[in-house]
Amino acid sequence: MSAGRSSQDLWEEAQRHLVGGVNSPVRAYRAVGGTPPFIAEAEGAVMRSVDGTSYVDFVGSFGPLVLGHSHPAVVEAVREAAARGTSFAAPHEGEVELARMVKELVPVIEKIRFVNSGTEATQSAIRLARGCTGRDLVLKFEGCYHGHVDALLVEAGSGLATFGIASSAGIPAATARDTIVLPLDDDEALEPAFRRHGPKLAAAIIEPLPANNGLLVQRPEYLRLLRRLCTEHGALLIFDEVLSGFRVPGVTVGAQLGIEPDLVTLGKVIGGGLPVGAYGGPAELMDRLSPLGPVYQAGTLSGNPLAVAGGLATLRAVKADDGWQRMEDLGSLLERGLGPVLDASGHPYRLVRCGSIFWLAYGDSEPPRRADRFHPNTAEVFGLLHRALLERGYMLAPSAFEVGFLSLAHDEHTLTGFAGAVGEALAEIPAP
């Protein structure tokens, strides 16, 4: 390697130019401490820093990279697309093919609209739901993340008023008041909320597999109850599968559980590492969008040829490789390797896994199903674990509440090595 600039050196300069040194807050490593490694290149399951250190990567760009980094088919498809033109802002074949492919894999979608991020997808789906129902209120769940949409950056208010309060500065109180927030996994809270707000409720939005604040696997009966209440009260049910889509057996959690949302939002995997989001559902709803209907939504770069090529190449490669089954097999392998290591560690860690998504739950009780049940030491212990794993060449996301991702580039060797490294790392940390 040439003697380039070190992570430390770049980090110091980054903080002079970029807010907090980053373009998305969690990357600043505030939750785990230390300097984030600057990445020079990545291939397969491995990322290499500018310091020349290699890491087996379980971040996967926070979800998109089901094939691992720089998969040859994706790189080639993007290269070819770029050579034909980086953006047309006009119809092209790639977007039609990606639409057909996503529909084939996600049958609740009859019509789809591509956007540039998961945030745009959920924001647009909410607007469409409001436009279709003529109602304003939105129901969301504590601990679910739907991107940085004003109406969804809202947390539960206190007391009887279930209306939300903004969880970020800069969100109008009036916007927060149009959002109702309920705890996850609480049947008792659902019925009264619908009784009270049902007639004004445009939509309920939920990650059917909440995976942005730990991996909070929901009871299927709970999601079915939500489905039934939405139907009874004429509110649309939006499944936000930006993260879970294409990472679970059955492709989406909705299909896996046999629960049909009215609208589904996608992102991450369908761009193969390029900026894409999408939302879709029955034609009857989607056709309310402009240019056919009154709900406006547009995008200069939407359906971008490079992004669409990256997504298509990714989905094709996963499909050709029986990828969803293989990821499930890799997941079982991780469970068999890491499970016993955690059990023997003396630390109250358990592995929670769905498809190629995993999380290390901390605490003696059953893995939590809702966001307010975390052990108070979760973040502190994870900070130590994260650092000890980095030292051993394994990279987890820099927060106790972010999940890990497997890709088809991981194999028995990387997973066995990871389990061993976790065992060593936990042995260094004083057990409670």
| Residues found near ligand PLP in the complex (CB under 6 A) | 117-119, 122, 145-147, 207, 212, 240, 242-243, 267, 277
Q: Which residue is nearest to ligand PLP (CB)?
A: 118
143 or 198: CB nearest ligand PLP? 143
Cβ at position 248, least distance to ligand PLP in Å: 13
- Backbone phi, then psi, for 321, in 5-degree steps? -95, 10
Please tell me which residue in 29, 178, 262, 268 is annotated as part of the active site.
268
57 or 207: CB nearest ligand PLP? 207
| Cβ atoms 122, 297 nearer than 8 A | no
Tokens 């290149």 correspond to 41
Cα torsion through 45, 249, 147, 288, rounded to 10:
130
| Amino acid, res. 113 | R
145 is catalytic: yes
243 or 315: CB nearest ligand PLP? 243
DSSP assignment string, 351-408: EEEETTEEEEEESSSSPPSSGGG--TTHHHHHHHHHHHHHHTTEE--SSTTS-EE--T
Cβ at position 153, least distance to ligand PLP in Å: 11
321 is catalytic: no
**Residue 182: beta bridge partners?**
141
Please tell me which residue in 57, 178, 185, 240 is annotated as part of the active site.
240
**Residue 357: beta bridge partners?**
354, 405
240 is catalytic: yes
Sequence-separated (6 or more) residues with CB below 8 Å from residue 219: 185, 369
117 or 407: CB nearest ligand PLP? 117
Cβ at position 149, least distance to ligand PLP in Å: 8
106 or 341: CB nearest ligand PLP? 106
The pair of three-digit structure tokens given for residue 196, joined into one six-digit string: 């009270």
Reduced to 3 states (helix: H, G, I; strand: E, B; else coil), residue 246 is coil
Radius of gyration, alpha carbons of the chain: 21
Distance (Å, rounded) from C-alpha 106 to C-alpha 281? Answer: 10
Cβ at position 8, least distance to ligand PLP in Å: 28
H or E element, residue 39? strand 39-43
Its sign, for the CA torsion 128, 167, 60, 7, is: positive
- How distant, in Å, are the alpha carbons of 278, 279, 295 from that of 120? 8, 9, 14
Please tell me which residue in 29, 55, 145, 394 is annotated as part of the active site.
145
223 or 419: CB nearest ligand PLP? 223
Cβ at position 209, least distance to ligand PLP in Å: 9
- Which residues have a catalytic role annotated? 145, 240, 268
